[in-house]
Structure 1
Amino acid sequence: MDLLLPGSADGLATALSGYHPDLIVVYGFSWKLPEAALRLPRYGVINVHTSLLPRYRGPAPVLWAIRNGDADMGVTIHRMDSEFDTGNIIIQRGGIPLDDDITQESLSARINPVISDLLGIALERVVTGFPGIPQDDSEASYAGFMEPGFSHVDWAHTARDIHNQVRTFRFMGSGRGPLGQIDGRWVKILQTSTTRAEGIRIDCADGPLWVTEFVPAEPPATDGPAPR
Structure 2
Amino acid sequence: MDERIDTGSIIVQHDGIPLPEYVRFDELWHDVAPTIRALVAEAATLAADGYGGVPQDENKATYAGMFTAEDSTINWSWPSHDVHNLVRAFHFGTGIPGPFATIDGEHVRVLRTRLTPGSGTRVELPDGPLWIEEAEPVAQRFP
TM-score, normalised by the number of residues in structure 1: 0.55
Give the counterpart letter for 2:103 in structure 1: I
Report the Cα distance in structure 1 between the residues aligned to 2:59 and 2:78, rounded to whole angstroms: 29
Report the Cα distance in structure 1 between the residues aligned to 2:106 and 2:70, rounded to whole angstroms: 19
**Higher relative contact order, structure no. (Cα contacts within 8 Å, ≥ 6 residues apart):** 2
Give the match's secondary structure for 1:113. helix
Give matches, 1:17-36, under 5 Å.
none
1:91 to 3, 9, 12: 12
1:207–1:87 CA distance, 2 compared to 1 (3 A)? closer
Q: Deviations over 1:42-61 (max 9, x none)?
A: xxxxxxxxxxxxxxxxxxxx
Deviation at 1:109, TM superposition (A): 2.2
Aligned to 2:65: 144
The answer to whether structure 1 residue 184 and structure 2 residue 121 are counterparts is no
The answer to whether structure 1 residue 220 and structure 2 residue 116 are counterparts is no
Aligned to 2:37: 116
Aligned to 1:103: 24
Give matches, 1:70-81, under 5 Å.
80-81=1-2
Indicate conservation of the 8 Å contact 2:73/2:98, yes or no.
no
* Structure 1 moving runs of 4+ over 4 Å: none
Q: Deviations over 1:20-50 (max 9, x none)?
A: xxxxxxxxxxxxxxxxxxxxxxxxxxxxxxx
How many percent identity over aligned positions? 38
Q: Which runs of 5+ in 2 are unaligned?
A: none
Give the counterpart letter for 1:135 in structure 2: Q
Give the match's secondary structure for 1:94. coil
The answer to whether structure 1 residue 196 and structure 2 residue 117 are counterparts is yes
Aligned to 2:132: 211
Report the Cα distance in structure 2 between the residues aligned to 1:143 and 1:208, rounded to whole angstroms: 26
Report the Cα distance in structure 2 between the residues aligned to 1:153 and 1:195, rounded to whole angstroms: 19
Report the Cα distance in structure 2 between the residues aligned to 1:109 and 1:206, rounded to whole angstroms: 35
Q: Give the structure with higher Rg (CA).
A: 1
The root-mean-square deviation of aligned C-alpha atoms, in Å, is: 2.1
1:159 to 80, 90, 97: 80
Report the Cα distance in structure 2 between the residues aligned to 1:172 and 1:192, rounded to whole angstroms: 16
Report the Cα distance in structure 2 between the residues aligned to 1:193 and 1:139, rounded to whole angstroms: 27
TM-score, normalised by the number of residues in structure 2: 0.82
